[in-house]
Copies of this chain bind each other. A is one copy, B any other.
Amino acid sequence: MPLNNQIKPVNPVVEVDEGAANDTSAIDMGPLPNQVGFMLRLAQLAVFQDFIQVYGTVDIRPAQHSALTVIERNPGIRQCDVGAVLSIKRTNIVPLIDSLEKRGLVKRRQTAADRRARSLFLTDKGRKLMGILDQLRLQHERRVLDLIGEKGRERLLEALSRLTGIVD
């Protein structure tokens, strides 16, 4: 496969600054617009920003949302397994679950089988919140779909899934 890099312009993801009414269209970005890593950053920045805005009413961040989702679907799951499927290190899961526990959405329990482990469950409040989050998720995903279409979304997810295999 050839590695040709044709140059394409890229618009700033967001208003990067308050004013900044400057003409940046003449700036040569070289291979950046054709570099997957660079474009992944811009896209994630934009999509996460939309996510944070949509979920702003309930003050839930992307990482919190995925943790809640996994705990809801797998009651009693251990912390380290949440980390494994979300690619978050064991050590960084602690403050994440802390934040959810402090807000009364999740509770930790000791397990009988392995007394080292902590089993995670949604509280009633947590389960109730998930109903709202499901609505917000559809709202957010709808805006994604409007931009890239159903077929585009399927192809995108396929490519993203393959890219996660770049490291081993």
**Which of A's residues lie within 8 Å of B, judged by CB?**
1-3, 8, 10-14, 16-17, 20, 22, 24, 27-51, 53, 62, 66, 69-70, 72-74, 77, 80-81, 83-85, 87-90, 137-138, 140-145, 147-150, 152-153, 155-168
Contact = CB atoms under 8 A, between A and B. Distances in A.
Contacts of A87: 12-14, 16, 42, 45
Contacts of A38: 62, 66
6 contacts: A13-B164, A17-B89, A27-B84, A29-B69, A41-B48, A152-B158
B167 A49 contact: yes
Contacts of A20: 80, 84, 90
A32 B73 CA distance: 11
Which of A30, A150, A160, A165 has the most chain B CB within a 10 Å cutoff? A160
B13 A46 contact: no
